[in-house]
Amino acid sequence: MIIALSGTPGTGKTSTAKLLNDCNIINMNKLIKEHKLYTGVDHKRDTLIADQKEIQKQISHEMRNINRGDSNNTTVIEGHLSHKLENIDAVIVLRCHPSVLKKRLDKRGYSKPKIQENIDAEAIDIILSEAAQVCEQVYEINTTGNTVQQTQEQVEEIIKNIQENKQMPVKYFPGTINWIEEVNSSR
């Protein structure tokens, strides 16, 4: 089973993925940088321009290596573009209140325009909407007041429910988190 752990930068994807048990983890951002899976740099937005076709090829290669050498059949691909990959069984989108996200991104040293772009994307559910267009099983977790361990436990609960074909708690259903009123107040 392949799970995409996605979300706006600063929602806790990397920190959470590091703690996940009984899963193979692929860090997409690390993969993009290590294998130069980008077509250039967007200086205005201070980001790499990811090459989705090359990323998909590299992920497929990584998955073949994992499937050959590991009996664990759950792989989590972590990154804010992971929900755009092909052959994903489920997407877990980490969410964070825009005011908290703004503080987290500021601590990372993001520029004001980059912070605004990300909190706007979070407020209007960009990643959740994109994920719902390409995958049938999409879930969301509000990480705003969580410790990393609490988010880890919630991600593992979702994975376990998927593996065991159990009913998913309503709190993880898409649409339960709504930051839209934050768009104007964050400016």
Q: What is the pLDDT of residue 64?
A: 84
Residue 156: name the closest of 67, 62, 73, 74 by CA.
Answer: 74
- Whether residue 144 contacts residue 62, with contact meaning beta carbons closer than 8 Å, is answered with no
Q: What is the pLDDT of residues 4-58, one digit of tens each?
A: 999 999 999 999 999 999 899 999 999 999 999 999 998 888 889 999 999 999 9
What average pLDDT does the segment 67-91 reach? 85
Q: Please state the residue numbers annotated as binding site for ATP.
A: 10, 12-15, 108
Question: What residues pair up with 48 in beta bridges, in sequence order?
Answer: 41
3-state helix, strand, coil in the chain (%, to 5): 50, 20, 35
Q: Give the containing element (helix H, strand E) for 62.
A: helix 52-69
CATH of the domain spanning 2-176: 3.40.50.300
In sign, the C-alpha dihedral spanning 147, 99, 91, 5 is negative
Q: What is the pLDDT of residue 176?
A: 92
CA atoms within 13 A on the CB side of 141: 28
Q: Please state the residue numbers annotated as binding site.
A: 10, 12-15, 108
Give residue 70's pLDDT band: very low, low, confident or very high (50, 70, 90).
Answer: low
pTM: 0.92
